Amino acid sequence: MFYKTRGYIGDPVSTLLTSGCEFDDIAAMWALLVLATIVFCYLLLYYVAFKGTRNFSPVMLTGKTVIVTGGNAGIGKATAVELAKRGARVILACRNKEKAEAAVFDIRQETGNSQIVFMHLDLASLKSVRSFVDTFLKSEPRLDILINNAGHMGPGRTQEGFGMALGVNHLGHFLLTNLLLERMRRCGAARVVNVASLLHRLGTVDFSLLASHKDLVSGQSTWQDFRAYCSSKLCNLLFTRELANRLEGSEVTCYSLHPGVINTQLCRNMSWWLRALQMPFAKLFFLDPEGGAQCTLHCALQEGIEALSGRFFSNCAVQQVARGGRDDAMARKLWEVSERLTHMA
């Protein structure tokens, strides 16, 4: 009796097995709780902070012509696909002929639209910009939408010696737009869409640096490259603002936008360790190119936003910009400096 009682209430093996089972159950329950919490936080962050609004405009573009710079990949290609589906004649203005021709083939196959054309454009060369415009004006009778989508983040200098972010993201598009404006005015209700970024909030425009270094920053490093990109996006906003002022009274309108946090090839020129560092976040949180194209499509297609010309959009809605992006005097000065730098003045 003694041993039975002792074995029943105090047998060390039974106690260990029982307590082990209870421990495993509790551990499994906590693991499931932690996993559920992580999934919930991920979904909350993704849908609130990262997932963008979709564009549902029914507008068709049959008989219209659109230029998309950098239209061979990423957001540019996704934008071109959607415009082609709506019947537009789409000009892919790209630097790399092989990649652009492959994109032309892909878009034609996907959309059934044969009116997809590649024209060579290297925004890091003002000579190339002028050559592109000459070719376009000789071969295309109209231009209804100009989408300045191409962007660069990384080191290097343009053909004229400008910092790459300044030259590609701002000056190249500035010259391109101005040389095409007259053709757009002839088409009546035309639009210019400039793909900018919320990172403009971290940007500055130092006109003394523009004069002395032909750049928006004073040196070359990963941090300086990032700062130059942010400042070039501020230039995009200021350019759009001043362009709207100069187009007032015409039927041509213009808009700048933040496409969202996108998993594209924009950072391909950054150091390998920074690309490796951002890769897990890109896979988990960043929008795909189709998602990133939605705000561009909204600005290009949405009816009734003409009165908002010059404004900045994000998530397919007007957004407030940083104070520097609302400075009309700075926008006017940047325009005048850009005219001199691109030899338009």
Q: Is the pLDDT of residue 19 over 80?
A: no
Are 216 and 334 members of one domain?
yes
Task: Out of 8, 42, 229, 255, pick the active-site residue.
Answer: 229
Are 25 and 126 members of one domain?
no
Are 129 and 23 members of one domain?
no
The average pLDDT across 118-134 equals 98
Answer yes or no: is 140 within a domain. yes
The average pLDDT across 260-274 equals 55
Answer yes or no: is 264 within a domain. yes
Answer yes or no: is 175 within a domain. yes
Are 84 and 168 members of one domain?
yes
Q: DSSP string covering 16-74, please?
A: HHHHHHHHHHHHHHHHHHHHHHHHHHHHHHIIIIIPPPPP------TT-EEEEETTTSH
Percent of the chain with pLDDT over 90: 71
Are 122 and 200 members of one domain?
yes
Answer yes or no: is 53 within a domain. no
Answer yes or no: is 226 within a domain. yes
The average pLDDT across 201-222 equals 94
Answer yes or no: is 181 within a domain. yes
The average pLDDT across 143-166 equals 97
Answer yes or no: is 54 within a domain. no
Q: Which two tokens stand for residue 183?
A: 């053709």
pLDDT tens digit string along 48-76?
444 557 888 899 999 999 999 999 999 99
What mean pLDDT value characterizes the chain?
86
Q: Is the pLDDT of residue 95 over 60?
A: yes
pLDDT tens digit string along 249-265?
999 999 999 998 755 55
Q: Is the pLDDT of residue 100 over 50?
A: yes
Write the CA distances from 53 to 48, 71, 233, 313, 336, integer angstroms.
Answer: 10, 22, 22, 12, 36
Are 6 and 108 members of one domain?
no
Are 254 and 106 members of one domain?
yes
Residue 53: the pLDDT is 75
The average pLDDT across 175-200 equals 97
| Number of domains observed in the structure of the chain | 2
Are 334 and 285 members of one domain?
yes
Catalytic site residue 3? no
Residue 345: the pLDDT is 72
The pLDDT-based confidence of 207 (bands split at 50, 70, 90) is very high
Residue 270: the pLDDT is 52
Answer yes or no: is 55 within a domain. no
Are 200 and 152 members of one domain?
yes
pTM of the model: 0.81
In CATH, what number is assigned to the domain containing residue 83? 3.40.50.720
Are 105 and 8 members of one domain?
no
Which residue segment(s) compose the domain that 39 sits in? 2-48
Residue 212: the pLDDT is 95
Q: Is the pLDDT of residue 22 over 80?
A: no
Are 152 and 12 members of one domain?
no
Last residue of a domain, one of 10, 25, 48: 48
Is residue 299 within 8 Å of residue 305, measured between CB atoms? yes
Last residue of a domain, one of 48, 71, 86: 48
Are 41 and 78 members of one domain?
no
Q: Which is more confident, 21 or 237?
A: 237
